[in-house]
């Protein structure tokens, strides 16, 4: 069972859940995103948004947290392989941060589409 296809997949899932927990426990950026996600869920209940709007909201939350998590992983990898200052490392980190920025802007646009009609 341990080395079977199913056993490996189950173990892989365990590592992934552990990784998500580590992100929440140690990464401040993810903690901030998590709090924002909770605030957006409270807003969703408050404004009684539709099922489709909930779906878009969860996609936006997932998109930002996924990008932030991958960015954290890449930063950790960069710091491990090259702890010293290097322009290439700076460039790599800036690109990864840029991806988070794109995800965040997308989430803000989705949020504006959902909540503007309720607020204004
Ligand atoms: N080793 C390095 N060499 C060159 N530039 C770096 C290096 N480390 C960081 N930088 C520059 O500083 C910026 C911030 O890097 P840092 O690793 O502190 O990320 P951060 O977004 O502050 O992440 P966190 O708050 O999660 O640690 C990078 O985007 C990059 O421009």
d(CA 56, CA 92): 30
CB-CB contact of 78 with 89 (8 Å): yes
Mean pLDDT on 112-117: 98
| 22 in a structural domain | no
Model pLDDT for residues 47-83, shown as the tens digit of each residue: 999 999 999 999 999 999 999 999 999 999 999 999 9
**For ligand 1, atom 11, which residue shows the shortest CA distance?**
90
- At residue 120, the 3 state secondary structure works out as coil
Here the CATH number for the domain that contains residue 104 is 1.10.287.3610
- Whole-number Å distance, alpha carbon 79 to ligand 1 midpoint, is 9
The ipTM estimated for the assembled molecules is: 0.88
Q: Is the pLDDT of residue 2 over 80?
A: no
Question: Considering the chain, what is the average pLDDT of its residues?
Answer: 96
Output the pLDDT for position 107. 98
Pocket of ligand 1 (CB under 6 A): 29, 72, 75, 85-86, 89-90, 93-94, 97
Of 6-15, 24-33, 44-53, 82-91, the least confident? 6-15
Atom of ligand 1 nearest to the CA of 29: 26
Indicate the SS3 state at residue 35: helix
pLDDT at 3: 79
For the CA of 86, the nearest atom of ligand 1: 3
Question: Has 68 been annotated as catalytic?
Answer: yes
- Whether residue 60 contacts residue 22, with contact meaning beta carbons closer than 8 Å, is answered with no
Instruction: Please report the pLDDT score of residue 79 as a whole number.
Output: 96
Contacts 24+ apart (CB under 8 A), 41-48: 43/115, 47/115, 47/118
pLDDT recorded at residue 19: 97
The answer to whether position 93 is within a domain reads yes
Structure tokens at 36: 């924002």
Asked if residue 12 is part of any domain, the answer here is no
Q: How many structural domains are present in the chain?
A: 1
């Amino acid at each position: 069972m341990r080395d079977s296809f199913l056993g490996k997949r189950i173990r892989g899932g365990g590592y992934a859940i552990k990784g998500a927990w580590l992100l929440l426990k140690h990464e401040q950026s993810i903690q901030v995103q998590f709090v924002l996600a909770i605030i957006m869920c409270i807003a969703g209940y408050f404004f009684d948004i539709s099922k489709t709007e909930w779906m878009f909201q969860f996609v936006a939350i997932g998109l930002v947290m996924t990008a932030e998590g991958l960015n954290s992983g890449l930063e950790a990898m960069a710091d491990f392989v090259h702890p010293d200052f290097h322009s290439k490392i700076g460039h790599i980190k800036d690109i990864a941060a840029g991806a988070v920025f794109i995800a965040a802007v997308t989430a803000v646009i989705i949020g504006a589409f959902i909540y503007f009609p309720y607020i204004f």
